[in-house]
Amino acid sequence: MEKFGFTLTKARVIDYDRNDHSIVDFIMEREPSFKACIECGCCSATCTTGNFTGFSLREINVLLKRGENDQVRKKIKKCMLCGKCSLVCPRGVNTRNVVFVAKQAFQKFDNYAV
């Protein structure tokens, strides 16, 4: 094979149909305010954990909605459930409860230790 000095990167495809939506369905049922999230990032900007680590609740929200749960599993452990993010959400999402219920869902569906 010819070498051109570069390689093609693998396509980043989000397959909504194949991804696992069990976690997000569990959350939507118990905390319907999550449906109102517009992924603006205000929660991440005010997040106590986010100030000291790379943790982003906005990223968690996006990944959960896509059903990309493998990425969320480890990241979500960093949330301290302080509730600061709930105070700034312009859409009135009970963000603290979203994380709380998400942790419950991981525990229920794959014996994930919270």
Residues 6-45, one symbol each (x = binds ligand SF4 by CB under 6 A, - = not), give -------------------------------xxxxxxx--
CA angle 94, 99, 67 (to 5 degrees): 110
If the CB atoms of residues 14 and 38 are measured against ligand SF4, the closer one turns out to be 38
Torsion of CA 47, 100, 55, 68, to 10 degrees: -140
Report the sign of the C-alpha dihedral through residues 45, 50, 55, 61, in that order: negative
75 makes contact with ligand SF4 (CB under 6 A): no
Q: Applying CB under 6 A, which part among 4-12, 15-23, 47-55, 106-114 lies near ligand SF4?
A: 47-55
